[in-house]
Chain A
Amino acid sequence: MLNYIWAGLIIFSLVFAVASDLGDYFTDEFRNGEEYDITLHFPENAETDRRQDVEFTISGCEPDDQTRCTFQARWFPSDEEKELVFAIQDGMPEHWLHVAANQDARDTDQLRTLVVGFDRDAAQAAIVLPEVHLVKMRSITQAAFDMAEFAVTLAIGLIGIMALWLGLMKIAEDSGLIHKLVKVVNPVLGFLFPNVPKDHPALGAISLNLSANMLGLGNAATPLGIKAMEELQKLNPNKDSATNAMCMFLTMNTASVQLVPPVTLIALLGVGVAELFYSIIIATAISLTVGIIAASYYARKFPEDPALLTEEPTPDS
């Protein structure tokens, strides 16, 4: 399942990127090669074959509240080609901003345009914006690399808070906080596990595991849970097949009330996690209730009689 979702994400990204880039190509989204007529304003007596700061005005442009027509730029003349480079500024034509944001350049805050048809005397010219191709293909590749890098910085960044929290939780574990909770959990269990004798060690292991889970002590919880399963297995007449008690236990385990959120969530959200203590307690109380109801319903629907169980047709036999 996970394999398909994961591969699906990657493959679908590629398909979607190709489709989107083909769409851009056919609708000429970035109008590659389009020329914009401008008038250049050189300082007085300037030599136009020197690099310098200039201003330019877009021809036929009417300034209003939203748009301006005259901008600062840097003039880069050479024998072969002349370039006009300018920073992205408010009031520029929307299409220019669009091109700038999607161009294949390290610095998307500026446009490096090619000057064509420069008329020195009239200071007229036209500029051509950089061509934009395969935007989505470039961005998915970039995203894959960026995120791979981010994953490691993220994981390293989580270590500090996780160390703090796991240190505290280890103190909680060693000082026997679990046993405090066991006293609360224990009375309910006899009712939920009718087939387990009252003094059987399974109940003890179950309540320890559930209590450790509630405190978010994952490390302590797993061995206790496996112990609980081993005890339940001793009561199982049909060793190959799960008992109702096992199903109930695992449902309660996966849906258990979380008094303390998982350490990774605490590390991800930092102190902001505080509010979520309450939402998580309420949400888990609801899911635990629903889980218990579902497990009891199934237990009644599929009784545990070993004779019935063996007769049950199984899909793989």
Chain B
Amino acid sequence: MQILSILVLPVIIVLIPLYGLIKKVRVYEVFVEGAKEGFQIGVRIIPYLVAILFAIGMFRASGAMEMLIGLLDPVLSLVGFPAEVLPMAIMRPLTGSGSIGVMADLIEAYGEDSLIVKMAGTMFGSTETTFYVLAVYFGAVGVRKVRYAVQAGLIADFAGVIASVAVCYWLFG
């Protein structure tokens, strides 16, 4: 497991350009073209990050976060769910850029190597901004009655949240 973890990044970083070369892609130019996007995303997420981070920062600084976690923890710990990752579970289906803010806040509060951050990161990676996706895709074709799409999407998100916690306990706990 540990060896696989060490390998995955270098393999991707080396194999993709190699594969591109084999497929006769102009790898350098294509890389630069793709990399430009990084700057755009960085700038685009700033307003969302400010909005979420300052609100959560205030909530944490007021002591309300601590109290909320203290209140929920006895209930949630019955099923082994750490209350600290709840902000991620709530925010993720609602806002993609905002949940980057939640993630950054958790890294600040609990440290990069903590189990909490691993759980929240797994959640971040494994659930989608369901409401946004549904709005974009149904909006694109003019469907207004979405029937059970929201429920089905949220059930899958919920399963993803529970699975993230369970898998992290299993792999890293």
Instruction: Name A residues whose Cβ lies closer than 8 Å to a Cβ of B.
Output: 1-2, 5-6, 9-10, 12-14, 16-17, 20, 136, 139-140, 142-148, 150-152, 154-156, 158-177, 219, 222, 225-226, 229-230, 232-233, 236, 239-242, 246-247, 250-251, 253-256, 258, 260-265, 268-280, 282-284, 286-291, 294-295, 298, 302, 314
Contacts and interface: CB of A to CB of B under 8 A. Distances in A.
B79 interface: no
B61 A276 contact: no
A278 B43 CA distance: 30
B82 interface: no
Contact of A287 (B16, B35, B55, B159): B159
B20 A258 contact: no
B61 A142 contact: yes
9 contacts: A162-B41, A171-B19, A226-B141, A251-B156, A254-B156, A255-B159, A265-B124, A276-B122, A283-B167
A240 B163 contact: no
B100 to A, nearest CB: 5
Nearest to B104: A154
Nearest to A137: B62
A168 B64 contact: no
Given A172-B20, A291-B155, A279 B27 contact: no
A151 B50 CA distance: 5
B38 A140 contact: no
Given A5-B90, A226-B137, 11 more contacts: A9-B58, A13-B59, A147-B53, A150-B108, A229-B137, A229-B140, A233-B141, A250-B138, A288-B156, A290-B159, A295-B152
A260 B9 CA distance: 10
A172 B16 contact: yes
A287 B156 contact: yes
Given A230-B140, A276-B118, A314-B145, A282 B167 contact: yes
A314 B57 CA distance: 41
Interface residues of B, number: 103
Contacts of B125: 258, 261-262, 265, 276, 280, 283-284
Nearest to A268: B103
A262 B38 CA distance: 12
Contacts of B55: 6, 9-10, 13
A229 B62 CA distance: 46
- Secondary structure class of chain B's binding surface, majority of residues: helix
Contacts of A225: 137
Nearest to A161: B38
A222 B136 contact: yes
A1 B52 CA distance: 14
A291 B95 CA distance: 20
Contact of A291 (B20, B103, B156): B156
Contacts of A283: 122-123, 125-126, 160, 163-164, 167
Contacts of A272: 112-113
Given A144-B54, A264-B100, A291-B153, A219 B167 contact: no
A246 B149 contact: yes
B39 A279 contact: no
Nearest to A257: B126
Nearest to A261: B125
A290 B54 contact: no
B64 A279 contact: no
B130 to A, nearest CB: 5
